[in-house]
Amino acid sequence: GAVVSQHPSRVICKSGTSVKIECRSLDFQATTMFWYRQFPKQSLMLMATSNEGSKATYEQGVEKDKFLINHASLTLSTLTVTSAHPEDSSFYICSARDPRTGARTEAFFGQGTRLTVV
Amino acid sequence: AQTVTQSQPEMSVQEAETVTLSCTYDTSESDYYLFWYKQPPSRQMILVIRQEAYKQQNATENRFSVNFQKAAKSFSLKISDSQLGDAAMYFCAYSSGSRLTFGEGTQLTVNP
CA distance B106 to chain A (A): 9
Contact B98 A103 (CB under 8 A): yes
User: Bigger pLDDT: B1 or B11?
Assistant: B11
Query: To the nearest whole number, what is the mean pLDDT of chain B?
Result: 95
Nearest by CB to A102, from B91, B98, B107: name it. Answer: B98
> Cα B93 to chain center, whole Å?
7
What mean pLDDT is predicted for residues A67-90?
95
What mean pLDDT is predicted for residues B98-103?
89
> Looking at the predicted structure, is the pLDDT value of residue B82 above 70?
yes
| A14 touching B (Cβ < 8 Å) | no
Which range (A4-8, A48-52, B68-72) has the least confidence? A48-52
Give me the amino acid identity at B18.
T
Q: Convert the pLDDT of each residue in B5-47 to its tens digit.
A: 999 999 999 999 999 999 999 999 888 999 999 999 999 999 9
DSSP A4-66: EEEE-SEEEE-TT--EEEEEEESSS--SEEEEEEE-TTS-EEEEEEEETTS--EEPTT--TTT
What local confidence, expressed as pLDDT, does residue B49 receive? Answer: 96
d(CA A51, CA A72): 9
Percent of chain B at pLDDT exceeding 70: 100
> Looking at the predicted structure, is the pLDDT value of residue A16 above 90?
yes
